[in-house]
Structure 1
Amino acid sequence: MKDIILIIRRFAWQYKSKLALNFLFNLLSAFFAVFSMAMMIPILEILFNLQEDVNEMVPWAMNLSDLKHNVYYYITQIKQSLGVGWALLYVGVFIIVGTGLKTGFAYGASYVLVGVRNRVVRDVRASLYAKIIRLPLGFYSDERKGDIMSRVMNDVQEIENSVMSSLSMLLKNPVLIVVFMATLMVMSFQLTLFILVMLPIAGIVIGRVGKTLKKTSREGQDKLGDIVNILEETLSGLRIIKAFTAEKKMDHRFDGHLDEYRRISNRLARRRDLAHPMSEFLGTIVIVLVVWFGGTLILNQEAGLSGAVFLSFIGIFYQIINPAKEFSNAIYTVQRGIAALERIDWVMMAKNNIADAENAHSADKLHQGIEYRNVSFAYGERTVLKNISVNIPKGKTVALVGQSGSGKTTFADLLPRFYDVASGGIFIDGVNIKEIKVHDLRGLMGNVNQEAILFNDTIYNNIAFGVENATPEQVMEAARVANAHDFIMATEKGYQTIIGDRGSKLSGGQRQRLSIARAILKNPSILILDEATSALDTESERLVQEALEKLMANRTSIVIAHRLSTIRNADMICVFQDGEIVERGNHHELMAIDGVYQKLHSLQIK
């Protein structure tokens, strides 16, 4: 119950006005349910001729005795004037009206709660997505994409299916149970006290079984994350799987996880399905004991109960059984949702170390330059950069060369704070980048990567991505500068052509020119190029290189180069080796040294 209250306070409390209205409707529904059942008493007494006639009214007052007296007065009048049949119909009309109001208010409660439920699910999804896109890249380097996707899709769906679908029962059934129990207390204190002793025993048995669902459900969600991860890896690496004829190996791997998930799901479903028969069986035991105890009291004339009142008592008590069963089922279901919620919280509670400092500075342009001062960085215990110092004046181009894994990409990734330095500092115009607002810092930069990162959207929207209020003329001009306009116009719908998943409908050179057009439209002060031409054929490389030269004109640029021919004109070339800069200078200076750079250059021209 503690977990249930916590979930309501955490997700639904902001809609407390609607929850209050739902509570009011449920309360009125419970009241009219009691009223309908209570009206069975005069019907039974009329049928069995148990009630004496009442020929005088008493003044109306808000107490049960006077209300009952006057109701029986009207019943007596109808019996005497119209007959017993009409008296039964008279009472029956009240039952119909009471039942109509009961069901009407019950629907009203459900109507209000539907809006709350769907809003809460929407809020959870939106909050989770917002958290995911704001977490630093370092968070994802240690996690599997498939597992993250499973938490976003399957776990949120589990919360919708379990917790939120149970919210109606959790808010409605306790109200019904309390109202019915209060009515039973008025009817017979002794019999109700007996029920209050019996019900908790049944609740304890149900609760013990329910606790095991949480652990099993979490295991199932974790295993589902493994399955989604394998599926994501399969789709991403399908070309390699087919090339190495590894279909059977992947089948075997996937089938193993599916079998394990099937076994966990079997355990979970069997425990969940135990809820209904167990609650029904225990409820039957309680009813039999109540009938036995109540019958004993009537026969011994100890409770002051008539047969008609006792039958109504049983009828009202039976009304408790369904809410109690649904409530117990809801507790079972919520345990599964809580396990999913814990997995979501693992993402929601993840710490974002890349955040704005207090009193962070704004920045809109680069005025002086960039400086790396004694920068070191490590992924876990693996040191990647060691005491790096580089000064990049405004408008200059610095090229980074070296073997794979030497630290070039990490050097560039530290500038927009995709990661934070372990020691030392990076300064823009003399200000530590940790003291600049992250949004403004990244707004200074444009990125063109080796793999053009595009979205399954139109060409126009991909170029205008991240640039607010871009006009069609500006988008087209950026495409012309990037040597992309001609091939765009040759597509079926021009700038409104959908390019497919990751730009799959375009060639590598076309994708790269779109990413350059995107950077041109952003018009950044600082440009980061990460091997932007290394994966292209000769013709595409020429077109892309021309576009890059236009983009780099009069901009401060950091270029990670695989092909040394593309950075011959760089103002400074830094040669990386094992996380250190072992050589620096322009092309001619480095060739004269006859060191690492000269060896790399010789290897490429052979």
Structure 2
Amino acid sequence: MKRILGIVRRLWPYKWRALASVVCNILSAFFSLFSLSLLIPFLGVLFGTMPLVDARPEFALSLSSVRDTLYYFISQLILSHGRSAALLMVITFVVANSLLKNLFVYLSSWHIAFIRHGVIKDLRNSLYSKIVSLPLGFYSEERKGDVMSKMSNDVNEIEVSVVGSLELVFRDPIIILVHLFGLLLISVKLTVFVLILLPISGLIIGRIGKSLRKRSLTGQEWLGGLLALIEETLGGLRIVKAFNAEQQSNQRFTAANAHYTRLMVHINRRRALAPPLSEFLGTVVMGVALWYGGTLVLGADTSLSPEALIGFMGLFYMILNPAKSFSTAYFNIQKGLASADRVETILEAINPIQSPLNPLPKPTFRHGIEYRDVHFSYADREILHGVNLSIQKGMTVALVGQSGSGKTTLADLLPRFYDVQGGQILLDGHDIREYNVTDLRALMGNVNQEPILFNDTFYNNISFGTPNASRAEVEQAARIANAHDFIMETEQGYDTNIGDRGSKLSGGQRQRISIARAILKNPPIMILDEATSSLDTTSERLVQDALESLMKNRTSLVIAHRLSTVKDADLICVVRDGYIVETGRHEELLAKGGEYSTLYNMQLI
């Protein structure tokens, strides 16, 4: 119920269209009821079971007055034009009612189409916004393929199964209620008898669909696993081929795909049971109702006329179709709610990286940064153990050490990709958690070890995050990063598409584009995580020169494995197992003969 209410809340922006759809459905149902109800008195008069009415009855707000008035007008038609002509006129009137009924059915669907796709559009927007806002730590626990499955397949399932059933929800109950009102007018006894039978058939359908939601949830989880396997395979295709692991990858995927197929076969068999089962139960109910109605016509009290029984069964048949559709919608909704459960794991995920309710004014960074007794853990493993580090404005600080020692974690804590779990990081004397997250990150530029580019043009990749940059500024940033020349050698220059993740570029070219992006942002703080690791010797020297001139007027936090690239840093920190074990300038650390000296000599060798 919670999931259904969550989807219903998304209907609120479309409330007027929903109201218009409901009004159209009410009008459609009344035109349908009126056309069928008109046949009952006509058949009675036509076949002689009811006498012709000569005198016009007095009008009153009662059912008998409405019925007698209908008898009077039909009698006048027969008396004036004959039975055949009257029959033709009544049929014409019924056809006109049918036209109006179906016109309003179409208008209702016209409004529902906008609601259906609008709700899904809003849901996708909410999902994407949430995916972008969640911290990096969330995705260390989630598989990218599963997240993509929730964003695509689960949302599509919600559209087809839940939102797609909106039309039935807005239409079928109205049709059932309006026609039920007509049944009560014809025979209260027969209607009560039918109302006793219908819940029994509904209970049977409900018990069959009870397990569908759980199995559908399992099926969607396995589909997410399949997409994760595909994403991993595409990302690691070079390794798959290099190690002749095609057969192993095929076997792994085939096994997962077979299990998913078995689940989906079972789910679709269960869902396919709804229409024939509801039709069979409806036929049973209709047969029993016809038998009971026959006893009322042929019995001693004859409380029901033959034409009334025919009209009653006609109206009851109009209820059966929406009732069957409603049962099918119930099965679909149960399947779709399993997808809604999976989507809600993202929408309801708590983002621990939050801005305070009353943040400090936008920082300008005037003094420096301080790591004060910083602790941090991944899961149950502590990565940083009480780290202390002071970085004055304008300094270039290098973090060196073996892989896994905690260098990147130290850098990631500064823009609050993660939050410290003990201690503080201070910016100009204030805890960074006291600032608005957006304002804090606006002070920083990032260049990562693995260049992160998008399937777009050179221009849009460099200006990403700086949408108001001019063409001249983009080109200047590219020149500083030593990227302008190879960009201009392409067919369309800065308007050339670089492919998925920059697949059309070499590793060094990709890195220089990401450096140009950071240069264009022009932040006071630069975070460089192995920024030159993907460059060849010539490009490395050119980019290193550009970075050094760029960092002269900025505060820079540099992570480096190649110690030759940080010899001119103002402060070098040697990180080992989550501790800073040595600090100093290049010459000082070499003179100490400690861990830095050992690492440097090893690289020389």
Same fold (TM over 0.5): yes
Q: Are 2:45 and 2:75, in contact at CA under 8 Å, matched by a contact in 1?
A: no
Pair 1:308–1:80, CA change in 2 (3 A): same
Residue correspondence of structure 1 range 223-372 to structure 2 within 5 A: 223-302=222-301, 304-372=303-371
Shift of 1:487: 1.1
User: What is the one-letter code of the residue matched to 2:253?
Assistant: F
**Matched-pair contact (CA < 8 Å) for 2:3–2:340:** no
Residue 174 (structure 2) pairs with residue 185 (structure 1): no
Give the secondary structure class of the aligned counterpart of 1:190: helix
RMSD: 1.3
Question: Partners of 2:151 and 2:550 in 1: how far apart?
Answer: 38
Contact 1:155-1:343 within 8 A present in 2 as well = yes
Distance (Å, rounded) in 2 between the aligned partners of 1:229 and 1:463: 30
| Alignment map for 1:97-108 (pairs within 5 Å) | 97-108=96-107
Gaps of 5+ in 2: none
Structure-2 change in CA distance of 1:516 and 1:430 (3 Å): same
* Paired residues of 2:397 and 2:557 also in contact (CA < 8 A): yes
Q: Which amino acid aligns with 1:174?
A: P
| CA distance in structure 2 between the partners assigned to 1:554 and 1:191 by the alignment | 90
For 1:66, what is the secondary structure of its paired residue?
helix
Q: Is the 8 A contact 1:481 1:550 kept in 2?
A: no
In 1, Cα distance between the equivalents of 2:74 and 2:576?
101
Please tell me whether the aligned partners of residues 185 and 192 of structure 1 are also in contact (alpha carbons under 8 angstroms). yes
How much does 1:64 deviate?
Answer: 3.0
- 1:363-420 CA-to-partner distances (Å, cap 9, x unmatched) read 2421001000010101011111111011100000000000000000000000000000
In structure 2, relative to structure 1, the CA distance for the partners of 1:324 and 1:22 (3 Å cut) is: same
1:419 equivalent in structure 2: 418
Residues paired across the two proteins, number: 605
2:129 is matched with which residue? Answer: 130
In the other structure, the counterpart of 1:10 is: 9
| TM-score, normalised by the number of residues in structure 1 | 0.98
User: Contact conserved, 2:448 with 2:531, CA < 8 A, in 1?
Assistant: yes
Q: Determine helix, strand or coil for the equivalent of 2:486.
A: helix
Select between 217-226 and 16-25 the one with higher mean Cα deviation. 16-25
Query: Counterpart of 1:199?
Result: 198
* Mapped contact 1:128–1:348 kept (Cα < 8 A): yes
Q: Is the 8 A contact 1:275 1:328 kept in 2?
A: yes
Cα deviation code 1:416-442 (max 9, x no counterpart): 000000100000001100001000000
Instruction: Specify the code of the residue in structure 1 equivalent to 2:267.
Output: L
Q: Secondary structure at the match of 1:389?
A: strand
Equivalent residue, structure 2, for 1:209? 208
**What is the aligned partner in structure 1 of residue 402 from structure 2?**
403
Give the C-alpha shift of residue 489 in structure 1.
0.9
* Counterpart amino acid of residue 570 in structure 1: A
Q: Which amino acid aligns with 1:57?
A: R
The 5-angstrom pairing of residues 376-455 of structure 1 reads: 376-455=375-454
What is the aligned partner in structure 2 of residue 557 from structure 1?
556
Aligned equivalents of 1:3, 1:156: Cα separation in 2: 17
**1:554/1:4 CA distance change after superposition, 3 Å:** closer
Report 1:68-217 matches (<5 A).
68-217=67-216
Cα drift, residue 61 of structure 1: 4.2
Is the Cα contact below 8 Å between 1:452 and 1:512 reproduced in 2? Answer: yes
SS at match of 2:505: coil
Q: Does 1:488 align with 2:477?
A: no
Secondary structure at the counterpart of residue 10 of structure 2: helix
Q: Is the 8 A contact 2:45 2:52 kept in 1?
A: no
Query: Deviation digits for residues 5-24 of structure 1, max 9, x if unmatched?
Result: 52552321332222111111
SS state of the match for residue 370, structure 1?
A: strand
* TM-aligned CA distance change 1:536 to 1:67, over 3 Å: same
Q: Is the 8 A contact 1:513 1:547 kept in 2?
A: no
State the secondary structure of the residue aligned to 1:375: strand
Shift of 1:80: 2.2
1:81 and 1:367 map into 2 onto residues whose CA distance is 100
CA distance in 2, matches of 1:458, 1:295: 77
Structure 2 CA distance, aligned partners of 1:115 and 1:570? 60
Contact 1:590–1:598, Cα closer than 8 Å, also in 2: yes
Whole-Å separation in 2 of the counterparts to 1:183 and 1:254: 58
Secondary structure of 2:416's counterpart equals coil
Structure 1 residue identity aligned to 2:385: K
State the distance in 1 between where 2:59 and 2:110 align. Answer: 36
Question: C-alpha separation between the residues in 2 aligned to 1:54 and 1:319?
Answer: 30
Report the counterpart of residue 570 of structure 2 in structure 1: 571
Q: Would the alpha carbon gap of residues 115 and 415 (structure 1) be closer, same or farther in structure 2, given more than 3 Å must change? A: same
C-alpha separation in 1, matches of 2:66 and 2:216: 53
Distance 1:3 1:392, change over 3 A: closer
Once the two structures are superposed, the pairs formed by residues 22-61 of structure 1 within 5 Å of their partners are: 22-61=21-60
Distance (Å, rounded) in 2 between the aligned partners of 1:559 and 1:487: 26
Residue aligning to 1:542: 541
- Going from structure 1 to structure 2, the CA distance change for 1:236 and 1:294 (only over 3 Å counts) comes to same
Encode CA deviations 1:570-594: one digit per residue, 9 max, x unaligned.
0000000110000000000000110
Unaligned stretches of 5+ in structure 1? Answer: none
CA contact 1:402–1:575 (8 Å) conserved in 2: yes
The equivalent residue for 1:524 is 523
For residues 531 and 430 of structure 1, the distance between their equivalents in structure 2, rounded to whole angstroms, comes to 28
Could you list the per-position Cα deviations for residues 180-204 of structure 1 after superposition, in whole angstroms to 9, with x for gaps in the alignment? 1121112111111101100000000
Whether the 8 Å CA contact 1:375–1:389 is kept in 2: the answer is yes
Q: Secondary structure at the match of 1:372?
A: strand
Contact 2:447–2:529 (CA under 8 A) maintained in structure 1:
yes
- In structure 1, how many angstroms separate the alpha carbons of the residues matched to 2:212 and 2:285? 25
SS of structure 2 residue aligned to 1:357 = coil
Structure 1 counterpart of 2:191, one-letter code: T
Check whether the contact 2:456–2:497 (CA below 8 A) recurs between aligned residues.
yes
